[in-house]
Chains A and B, each alone.
Chain A
Amino acid sequence: MSYVIIGNSVAAVGAIEAIRRIDKETPITVISDEPYAVYSRPLISELLAGQVKEEMMGYRAPDFYERHGVEAKLGTRVVSIDSKKKTVKTEAGESIGYNKLLIATGGTPFVPPMKGRELGRVMTFIKMDDAKKIEEMLPELKHVVVIGAGLIGLKAAESLHHRGVKVTVVELADRVMATVLDVEAGKVVQDALENAGIDIITGDTVDEILGDNMGLVNGVKMKSGEALDCDAVIVAIGVVPNAAFAKASGVEVNRGIITDDHMRTNLPDVYAAGDVTEGLDYLSGDNRVMPIWPNAYIQGKIAGFNMTGEERIFTGGLAVNSIELFGVPVVTAGMSNVDSDDLEVLKKSEGGSYRKIVLRDNKVVGAVLVGNIDRAGLVTGLIRERIDISAMRERLLADDFGYIDFPVELRKERLGVAL
């Protein structure tokens, strides 16, 4: 008996920790193409900014693998799965047998086919090595163009700015973080970025990356025709599931690996978790790719339990995002930016602060808080537990919204009533 996990990030850790709660004996093998012990991918922006040192990047203690009885095969890429023989094959030709397999290979940055994408200093920014490569070229960088104003693009922009590099962010939508923020919230964030000295171009995109005769980036040409000089380009348009090898091995893949409520794939004893999946969305009830850290841990955990035979149901992922840019904290949960007739929006904006609550049938289904984000989790909890908010509707927008506004019985249940 053995467990094999392909991938070595948060979903893998979720699975390992769950497996070891039930099964302390059976060997676990983790295989990853990256050479590092599990680290926090979201922290690469802090690493690049110089705010976190490499030795502090670890997501778990150095003895994590040993303590959990895990053999970590790092720097090893899996190229195929043979679900009949129950083996996975590595790039080096090694064949590794499994009884239960978890695919947790995450996502790959999406780089659209555009002229110049093969030039030197065209970068993506999701892994430790990406941050290290940018660090190495830093002395050469005066101006960097970031394509995409999502979380990754904006964090990359902020980090480079902290290192003294001029940054221009180019975004096809009409505002920053357009997937999760509405116009008002987007403006607060954009103002903070621009006040700090970052240039933001919206409603336009890079058509072509220009290079010099050394094969290095020296500019971009925009769709509008405008051209910008720059020394590097960071492509941060989005991340797509890293599922090609799985698909070629017979795993059912739409945009991501299709998983059921046990995190099983279509193949027997093969599970999937994290950014590689197209799993259940808690609010819509549909399957969708939700590349979000907490969701990856939870999916990994559910997969891990089920792999041991301890049945757990995945009730669906809830999209939550927390980001702070130049001192302005922004959090979103659920359907934070969806237009639909069945949704009711409550919002309040004052100074640099914004608070928006989205309701459907007297239940909270989405939220955005900018500035004062304290106790945002109370709202997220209302979403996750599908609580009827009729009795607290008037208070949802209050900065000091709290348990005091909850129905007494619910509050006492949550806090545990003292006898």
Chain B
Amino acid sequence: MKRVYTKEEACIGCRLCEVHCLTEHSRSKNIIKAHKKEFPRAISRVLVEELRPVSFAVQCRHCDEPVCVEACITGAITKDESGKVVHDEEKCVGCWTCVLVCPHGAPRRDLERRKVAKCDLCPDRETPACVEMCPNRALVYEER
């Protein structure tokens, strides 16, 4: 399956991937409204880690044997037929078990909604927003 991979040599730590991830997962999908108006504000599912001069983006790796799926107490996280690890917000109760078990530290806590937010590979787009909007092509979306 296609996944998002990071090129840390090319990442400049601008965090535009976070900005566009948040926007893509907002109600309006408008960059200004999403950040300044909407409540609860959407949260980015990608996280940029940085310790100058190194930086890179981390998001759900859509693991082959995802521990989050095994650990989820409500059945909110499943692996679909395409291999994507999918999170059903309706079923999530914010127990944070996935936060505790994901070895990548990928699931983020949305404290307003009391739910987890994780990368869904942008189902409404051909290429995930973080990849498409990265100004330095530090993220790629490809089959390995």
Contacts and interface: CB of A to CB of B under 8 A. Distances in A.
B65 to A, nearest CB: 9
B100 A373 contact: yes
A418 B6 contact: yes
B46 to A, nearest CB: 12
B71 A320 contact: yes
A107 interface: no
A205 to B, nearest CB: 29
Contact of B103 (A331, A380, A417): A380
Given A56-B91, A320-B71, A320-B97, A415 B103 contact: no
A59 interface: yes
Contacts of A321: 100
Contact of A385 (B91, B93, B103, B140): B103
Contact of B105 (A42, A59, A403): A403
Given A416-B3, A416-B5, A377 B140 contact: no
A314 interface: no
Nearest to B88: A61
B3 to A, nearest CB: 7
Interface in A364-419: 373-378, 380-381, 384-385, 402-405, 412, 414-418
Contacts of A333: 100
A179 interface: no
Interface residues of B, number: 42
Interface in A4-45: 14, 40, 42-43
Interface in B44-87: 47, 49-51, 54, 56, 58, 61, 67, 70-71, 73-75
Contacts of A380: 100-101, 103
A418 B5 contact: yes
Given A375-B99, A403-B56, A417-B5, 15 more contacts: A46-B93, A294-B70, A294-B71, A329-B96, A376-B96, A376-B99, A377-B99, A378-B105, A380-B103, A403-B58, A403-B104, A404-B50, A404-B56, A414-B103, A418-B7
Interface of A: 14, 40, 42-43, 46, 51-52, 56, 58-60, 293-294, 297-298, 301, 320-324, 329, 331, 333, 373-378, 380-381, 384-385, 402-405, 412, 414-418
